[in-house]
Amino acid sequence: FNLIHAPFSINLFRTGSVWPRSIIACSIWRFTAYTGCNANDVFLAWAAIERHILIYHSNLMKRPRYQILFHYVPLALLLVYLIGFNAACFLTPTCFTSYNFNVVFCDASCLNAVPFMATWYLMVNQLTAAIIAIVFSLALWLRVIYQRKRAKGTVEWRRLNKLTTQVLVITVLFIVLEMPYAITCTINYLKNMDESIIFGYGNSISLFLCYIMPIIMPFACLLGLHKELWPRLMKPINHLLKRNEKEKSSVVATEQLSITKQ
């Protein structure tokens, strides 16, 4: 999403025209942008639900079959659904004939050609997914606080401080960056507000806020995990450095041995 949508958008805002001006490029932009935006919302919504399973049913998730059932299968189904839904929306003959190289996505109004698909996209893929992510994240935060009080601040629950911080940050990002665009799009679809200048400015601002979400989200996810991830990321490098040190030590020892013999 970031590697395709951001450069296309920046170039359009800078020059006033899409480049390259081709149907293939526009189709790729539309499909990846909408699929990426949906995936950001839908996968984070599922992650908000799965956190409850991982924390409060951790013993269950240690079994391989339950890992497959409750982790890999939902992710695979959601991925297939997102690709299939957006392909049905934007990789169709109707969309291939609707292009304007001077607007975002080369004009994605072809989505509105099928009212059911447009309604489903707004109400389920955007609005419902954002609400699920917010509600289940806040619910997890409240459960953690309640359990901390019952456990009287034991080590196990102190470790969940990182999780609560991450959850709260993600929730705030959803409320501030995602919800405004989902709401304005839904209002505009239910009651056409295209002629309203004020609504047009509000919709444009909410769209730009939506662009920020995928860029900030990786850092928000890293917020509560950097202490665990950093050693893992550095492990191959440390292993390589240690191996080089051993090779150098071996070379030095060989040279010293040859000098001694001489």
Tell me what pLDDT residue 155 has. Answer: 47
Tell me what pLDDT residue 250 has. Answer: 67
- Each domain of the chain, given as residue ranges in start order, spans 1-260
Q: Residue 203 and residue 193: Cα distance in Å, rounded?
A: 10
Tell me what pLDDT residue 72 has. Answer: 92
For domain 1-260, the CATH superfamily is Rhodopsin 7-helix transmembrane proteins (1.20.1070.10)
Tell me what pLDDT residue 124 has. Answer: 87
Tell me what pLDDT residue 52 has. Answer: 86
Count of CA atoms in the C-beta half-sphere (13 A) of 238: 6
Tell me what pLDDT residue 82 has. Answer: 94
Tell me what pLDDT residue 77 has. Answer: 96
Low-confidence ranges of the chain (pLDDT < 50): 155
